[in-house]
Amino acid sequence: MHKTSSGFAGLLLLLLASSGHAQIVKITPIDKQRLLIKKLQLIARTEALPSPVRNEFARAAHSKTFRMADPGQEYQVTDVVAKEGLPSRRFIFAGLTNDLCVLHYEHGGIGHGYDLVLFHLSGGKARFVWHGWARRNIQI
């Protein structure tokens, strides 16, 4: 894991919000401020995500288990099933602080897009806070 400069997660959120195709659930001003000032540990593989984040993501996605391909792995890109059993999402990266996790991934299907999800971490648990997505990937 690598540390990023402070404000990186906030920059991602602002870029996603400014995308012409973004559909945003409103993030609270307090969470926005916390993201703008915190330094994140960069996570490059799904197995490095804390298990409470994986569990809460599965719950929020109405899935029994957390299923997401790692970067470079195959996943179900379109709504046409190419291979049985492929996950419909592919991890891009995540950022982690002591009390927040920002998860960035792409989802397949007829509405292919790129997602950011924010979780609050406390007491060994993760709580879904915010989700936004865009049809184009975030370019920094």
pTM of the model: 0.78
Residue 122: predicted pLDDT: 95
Helices (H), the chain: 8-18, 29-37, 51-60
Averaged pLDDT, 85-109: 92
Reported as a pLDDT band with limits 50, 70 and 90, residue 130 is: confident
Residue 54: predicted pLDDT: 98
Structure tokens at 31: 């969470």
Residue 110: predicted pLDDT: 84
Distance CA 109, CA 87 (A): 11
pLDDT digits (tens, 9 = 90+) for 16-72: 554 444 444 566 677 666 666 677 889 999 999 999 999 999 999 999 999 999 999
Q: Is 70 or 79 the better-scoring residue by pLDDT? A: 70
Residue 4: predicted pLDDT: 47
Mean pLDDT of the chain: 80
Torsion of CA 9, 119, 52, 23, to 10 degrees: -100
Residue 127: predicted pLDDT: 94
